[in-house]
Structure 1
Amino acid sequence: MSISHSSDPEKGIEKDSVGGQTSVHEARIADLHDEVPRGKLRYLWTLVEKLDRFGVEARGIERVQPDERTQSSSLVCFWMWLAANMTISTFSLGTLSASVFELGLRDAVLTILFFNLITSIPASYFSTWGPKLGLRQLTLSRYSFGYFTALIPVILNCIACVGWSVVNSIVGGQTLQAVSTSHQIPIAAAIVVIAIGTIIVSFMGYRVVHAYEKYSWIPVFVIFIIYAGEIGGHVDVGAWGGSGEIEAASVLSYGATVAGFALGWTSLAADYSVSLPEEMSSWRVFWSTYCGMNLPMILVEVLGAVAMHTFDAKPAWGDAYNSIGVGGLLGAPLTGTMHGFGSFLLVLLALSIVANNIPNMYSLSVTFQVLGRYAQAIPRVFIVLAGSAIYIALAIVGATYFEEWLDTLLVILSYWLAIFSTILIEEHLIFRHNDWRNYAPDEYNERSKLPLGIASFLALGFGVMGAVLGMAQTWYVGVIGNKFGIPGIGGDIGFELSFAFTAVTYPGFRYFERKYWGA
């Protein structure tokens, strides 16, 4: 594939044309009439051209045209999300049910089941948008939020991608530390090891991401089965847990955390289905994504919750958890009976974090470009490198605050992604009449062809109001959230209220926006 460069002397803007075969690397840079000033970074694009010959994806957020689609089976969505969630970060979410929310095992299992089945629906639905329009998820948000208001979810998603990579790397590093208690690897070195694998795959691009995720879940699944066998005979199921308002508050708060994990994929979903054919059945894509997400999320989160109820029978496991964290809880049962082989399995579990971090870093690169044409002029591969450097540094600094960071990140994600999902879905179903012909996917950079963004901005503000009223965090308890459970502690219904406030206000605001400003 060759990339030729020419300049428009009247605009002073570089335009690229692409020759050669595009189906091999899926890396065609479109014939650029989008006024993206790539000429200012000509030396970087020259390097990208060289990397492209080795299979590195050169494409950014440019639309994948129907004749460029190279995937043919909806199962690619199933494998993608199965692998991305079959990791120890999913396991760590299950442990929060006891360590943070003090839920009994049965209550934790029901909460995990119910909230995952409900809150994974938006991401599964958005996954069907990729084949229809060939655009990445945050690029698609411009058709609901408008060019400028879309910058808000773009910035939030960049923060979320980095934040997820931070907490994932910490739990992966803790697990590598648990491999040996006598010669413990420094947490900084462990985090760097995790990051290297992530960089390699996300650097290569879409095709390699899917190839890696298709198979990476297999050894992790087998190890989780072995782990379940090791801890199964030591579980104290116990009673249902608390009762009345206190129990309800804990279930709601933990449910918000579970929702944050499932909803976390809504801002990335379409990124990984853009190479499916335009005529692909939406139901097939939906169910492939839905099952691919829920199977690992439910099973692995439940396994994490179960592991927290083994400490009465196995106090040493509790000591390992208190000493090293989730890595200790994973390591103690495996290394305690299987010794060296158990340590080997633990290393593989630690590396499972790569499968979860890959979509974060890859989507960071295509999200960042939605900030504007100057951001789009930066080649995707260099955004991956910059984002990786940032999260490595943050993970090393924040390694001792894992549980606090994880819980806070998940809950905040549940707030803003409930707002994000509601606006996109209502725009599509109410104002575009569930008809893909009402989109102009090749005009994603044309501000005049996009909504003004006032309706989404106002609805977003009301959604934030709902989150503030309903949240129940250690640093703030909302007026409505305080009505649940113990006064001053409350129960978190922030994501439910952020959804409700947005759903009620957006249609009215959008009606008047279309009436007076069009688009």
Structure 2
Amino acid sequence: MWNKMQEQQDRPASDDQEKVDPPLPSPIKQFEAGYSDRWSKQLLTWGVEARGIRPVHIDQRTDTQFSKIFFIWFTMNFNILSFSAGTLGPAVFGLGLRESCLVILFFNLLCCILPAYLTTWGPKLGLRQMVQARYSFGYYGVILPCIFNLIGMCGFCILNSILGGQTLAAVADNDLSWSVGIVIIAVISLLISFCGYKVLNWYERLAWLPVLIVFVVALGVGGKHLTNPPPSEPATASVILSFASTIAGFVITYSPLSSDFTSYFQPDVSSVKIFLYSYIGFLLPIVSLQCLGAAVAINAPLVPVWNTGYTDGNVGGLLEAMLRPTGNFGKFLTVLLSLSVTGNIAATFYSMSLNIQVFIPWLVIVPRYVFSLLATAVVVPLAIVGSHRFYNTLTDFLGLIGYWASAYGAIILLEHFLFRRGDFTLYDLQNWNLPRKLPTGVAALAAGIASVSLIVLCMDQAWFVGPIAETTGDIGFEVAFCMSGILYVPFRWLEIRLRKDT
């Protein structure tokens, strides 16, 4: 298979391709061809990654440190946002600790499969995740999922920035405003993301360790309050499914950026190994911190100091209150905890910069790191505006964002397994940037859009509850996956028959 892929990438480009995608010999030469200022060239010599969505040639996929992908996902999720998502079970949905933890465990066991599996495609194709989506959604059709993906990533960065800012403000006894805290968190994340793949991987490999120490200390001083959770009312199936939809929205939305971090890996690496690294990297931090968040939230009303810190859903204040018995050391630990979100924001900024180039294809000539600056400029003001409605923002966002990602996953998987027979050599990598050589995307868009009518009936949001959801709870992400997949098969078959493409 690798010989076929090597031939695919080595064969001469067609005239059409040279017009659309002229060959550029190396990142530094590419940059020198269009940009002459000395500062930007110096960034490249320092190791700042300029490569955007252009395919990573098979000869350049040489990275053998495959455990990197475990640390990417582990650090991205070992933070206070995962903790906050767990608090939603008791705080918003009124679930007891047992019901919350069971939902967290079983739905994460299921939903981590899709993003973990898609990470295995990066080494095989050398393509970023949303560039891979062009082989089902088409060159122009992929713009729509790109928009949804950018909204989702922007939303996660906003939520993380709010949490980091709140936590910093809590340490300063509110002498530091949430807004200033948000700016500090965003700037630190920008610096990490700006440098690109190598620096990002180095940071993600180390950044989880101080966070682990903080949570161990927090459990050491506050664990005695978690031993006897108060009883709760029996949970209904609809409430459980609504919370499950929120939990699914947390992890399944990693699917559209899964391969962004594995496209430099050696192509002959075992897919099972990459899958397991990724799956455990998702599952371990998410389940542990979400369950901890649920346990702390359900016991917070019984601990006066915690309850005061948790006023108006201030998760940062709650965590600061848990660490307060350790004095000034606790303040230091809380600062470390506030920085836990930078690992998620930095990696998300990295993927956002790639998605912008897919969204607006002619921006492929602009170095990737420029878009990290743009992402920061968008996220900071929105985080400041939304910082005082955190719980409403978190619940509404996670509930909605899972619908489109679920439909996206179904379409991508069916294209791969049914229409390309699970064979990576059937992705002609020479065509990645040629609209006429790619599918039109009509089938994928039609399947996704046509499924919306049923998804709406199954939604359970604060501002709308569909008639089906009134009985079942929110089953929108399950319906999105099934309906878009069912519709895609005949639509794509018809598209192939009409265009005679693959």
Does residue 334 of the first structure (1) align with residue 326 of the second (2)? no
Distance 1:189 1:287 in 2: 39
Q: 1:280–1:482: structure 2 CA closer, same or farther, 3 Å change rule? A: same
Q: Give the letter for the 1:221 counterpart.
A: L
Distance 1:30 1:75 in 2: 30
Does residue 176 of the first structure (1) align with residue 158 of the second (2)? no
Please give the TM-score of this superposition, normalised by the length of structure 1: 0.89
Deviations along 1:147-176, whole A, 9 cap, x unmatched? 121111111111111111111100111111
The corresponding residue for 2:8 is none
Does residue 457 of the first structure (1) align with residue 448 of the second (2)? no
Distance 2:500 2:138 in 1: 12
Distance 2:28 2:425 in 1: 25
Does residue 366 of the first structure (1) align with residue 348 of the second (2)? no
- The answer to whether the 8 A contact 1:77-1:289 is kept is yes
% identical aligned pairs = 37
2:273 corresponds, among 264, 273, 284, to 284
The corresponding residue for 2:288 is 299
Residue 28 of structure 1 and its aligned partner are, at CA, apart by 5.9
Deviations along 1:383-408, whole A, 9 cap, x unmatched? 11011011001111111011111111
The corresponding residue for 1:204 is 195
- The answer to whether the 8 A contact 1:146-1:450 is kept is yes
Does residue 380 of the first structure (1) align with residue 362 of the second (2)? no
Distance 1:128 1:516 in 2: 32
- Where do 1:27-426 residues align within 5 Å? 27=27, 42-43=34-35, 48-181=40-173, 184-235=175-226, 237-238=228-229, 241-243=232-234, 247-322=236-311, 325-335=314-324, 337-426=325-414
Q: 1:129–1:296: structure 2 CA closer, same or farther, 3 Å change rule? A: same
Distance 2:168 2:193 in 1: 22
Distance 1:15 1:430 in 2: 32
Distance 1:341 1:429 in 2: 53
Please state whether the residue corresponding to 1:135 is helix, strand or coil: coil
Q: Give the letter for the 1:223 counterpart.
A: V
Distance 2:268 2:100 in 1: 41
Deviations along 1:218-256, whole A, 9 cap, x unmatched? 11012112212222211265477433xx62111111111
The corresponding residue for 1:487 is none
Count of equivalent residues: 485
Distance 2:450 2:184 in 1: 42
Q: 1:187–1:285: structure 2 CA closer, same or farther, 3 Å change rule? A: same
The corresponding residue for 1:3 is none
Residue 410 of structure 1 and its aligned partner are, at CA, apart by 1.0
Higher RCO, 1 vs 2 (CA within 8 Å, ≥6 residues apart): 2
- The answer to whether the 8 A contact 2:145-2:408 is kept is yes
- The answer to whether the 8 A contact 2:89-2:294 is kept is yes
Residue 17 of structure 1 and its aligned partner are, at CA, apart by 3.9
Q: 1:77–1:12: structure 2 CA closer, same or farther, 3 Å change rule? A: closer
Q: 1:508–1:324: structure 2 CA closer, same or farther, 3 Å change rule? A: closer
Please give the TM-score of this superposition, normalised by the length of structure 2: 0.92
RMSD: 2.1
- The answer to whether the 8 A contact 1:260-1:412 is kept is yes
Does residue 515 of the first structure (1) align with residue 469 of the second (2)? no
Q: Give the letter for the 1:516 counterpart.
A: L
Q: 1:323–1:269: structure 2 CA closer, same or farther, 3 Å change rule? A: same
Distance 1:238 1:372 in 2: 51
Does residue 445 of the first structure (1) align with residue 420 of the second (2)? no
Q: Give the letter for the 1:203 counterpart.
A: F
2:480 corresponds, among 480, 498, 515, to 498
Does residue 469 of the first structure (1) align with residue 469 of the second (2)? no
Q: 1:250–1:239: structure 2 CA closer, same or farther, 3 Å change rule? A: farther
Q: Any stretches of 5+ residues in structure 1 without a counterpart?
A: 1-7, 20-26, 32-37, 485-490
Residue 465 of structure 1 and its aligned partner are, at CA, apart by 2.3
Distance 1:496 1:390 in 2: 31
- The answer to whether the 8 A contact 2:313-2:391 is kept is no
Moved more, 126-135 or 449-458: 449-458
Distance 1:497 1:58 in 2: 40
Please state whether the residue corresponding to 1:158 is helix, strand or coil: helix
- The answer to whether the 8 A contact 1:86-1:296 is kept is yes
Moved more, 321-330 or 429-438: 321-330
Q: 1:453–1:324: structure 2 CA closer, same or farther, 3 Å change rule? A: closer
Q: Give the letter for the 1:347 counterpart.
A: V
The corresponding residue for 2:12 is none
Deviations along 1:67-95, whole A, 9 cap, x unmatched? 11232032111111111110111111011
Q: Give the letter for the 1:251 counterpart.
A: I
Deviations along 1:418-462, whole A, 9 cap, x unmatched? 001000001000000000111012321011221111110111113
Deviations along 1:351-373, whole A, 9 cap, x unmatched? 01100111210000001101243
Distance 1:304 1:313 in 2: 15
Residue 324 of structure 1 and its aligned partner are, at CA, apart by 6.5
- The answer to whether the 8 A contact 1:83-1:213 is kept is yes
Q: 1:29–1:300: structure 2 CA closer, same or farther, 3 Å change rule? A: farther
- The answer to whether the 8 A contact 1:231-1:333 is kept is yes
- The answer to whether the 8 A contact 1:97-1:254 is kept is yes
- The answer to whether the 8 A contact 1:235-1:306 is kept is yes
Deviations along 1:242-297, whole A, 9 cap, x unmatched? 33xx6211111111111011112111110011111010110000000000110000
Residue 44 of structure 1 and its aligned partner are, at CA, apart by 7.7
- The answer to whether the 8 A contact 1:92-1:301 is kept is yes
- The answer to whether the 8 A contact 2:95-2:233 is kept is yes
Distance 2:237 2:227 in 1: 22
